[in-house]
């Protein structure tokens, strides 16, 4: 018989913000580095064009301007989602999560339905310093804070690795 891990918790605004930035910039390996390099390259082109006197076509200028705008817009989108989360008082909603080697079940207070998923329905799980992010698909995920997990962290890590194989990612 397998062990079932059950947790009841809420996701504070600060942790939700971390999930937004992780999902936007760090979920895919190298994505954050690429975004920063493009932004730095666009800054270099801006400096060369305005301070260095390098003549650039309108197309080149539009390209580096779009690249300079994209990073702040991504950060703005993360902050807007965080504000909506805070304003909707979603941070106080209790979540119930149960996990074992056959399924994952979760429910959010105020929602009568609970959802039970087979492991084949889970796209990926990411472990970060503060949480386990359990992705159903690219846009739907559940953040399980590590401070709630406590001493079960190693058992969960082994369960995720066994059930998901290469779809379990450690990003500590």
Boundary-marking domain end, from 53, 87, 121 = 87
Domain CATH code at residue 124: 2.30.29.30
pLDDT tens digit sequence for 137-154:
888 899 999 999 999 999
Predicted local confidence at residue 112, as pLDDT: 62
Predicted local confidence at residue 1, as pLDDT: 52
One domain, residues 74 and 96: no
Contacts of 97 (CB under 8 A, 6+ apart): 6, 7, 8, 9, 104, 105, 106, 142, 144
One domain, residues 26 and 96: no
pLDDT tens digit sequence for 15-50:
999 999 999 999 988 888 999 999 999 999 999 999
The answer, yes or no, to whether residue 155 has pLDDT greater than 90, is yes
One domain, residues 57 and 96: no
One domain, residues 77 and 98: no
Burial bucket for residue 99 (CB in 10 Å: 0-12, 13-18, 19+): buried
One domain, residues 56 and 123: no
**Residue range 160-170: average pLDDT?**
95
Residue span of the structural domain in which 132 resides: 5-11+92-170
One domain, residues 97 and 80: no
pLDDT tens digit sequence for 89-121:
877 888 999 999 989 998 877 666 678 899 999
pLDDT tens digit sequence for 54-91:
999 999 999 999 999 999 999 999 999 999 999 988 77
Entry pTM: 0.86
User: Taking the mean position of all CA atoms in its chain, how far away is CA 4?
Assistant: 25
Boundary-marking domain end, from 62, 87, 112 = 87
**Residue range 116-138: average pLDDT?**
93
């Amino acid at each position: 018989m397998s062990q079932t891990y059950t947790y009841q918790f809420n996701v504070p605004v600060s942790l939700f913000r971390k999930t937004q930035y992780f999902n936007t910039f760090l979920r895919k390996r190298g994505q954050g580095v690429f975004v920063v390099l493009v932004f730095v390259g666009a800054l270099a082109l801006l400096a060369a064009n305005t301070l260095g006197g390098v003549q650039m076509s309108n197309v080149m200028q539009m390209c580096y301007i779009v690249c300079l705008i994209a990073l702040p817009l991504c950060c703005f989108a993360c902050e807007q989602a965080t504000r909506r989360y805070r304003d909707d008082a979603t941070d106080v909603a209790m979540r119930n999560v149960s996990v074992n080697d056959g399924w994952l079940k979760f429910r959010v207070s105020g929602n009568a339905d609970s959802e039970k998923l087979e492991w084949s329905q889970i796209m990926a799980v990411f472990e970060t310093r503060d949480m386990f992010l359990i992705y159903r698909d690219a846009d739907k995920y559940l953040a399980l804070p590590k401070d709630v997990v406590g001493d079960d962290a190693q058992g969960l890590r082994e369960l995720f690795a066994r059930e998901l194989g290469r779809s379990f990612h450690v990003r500590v």
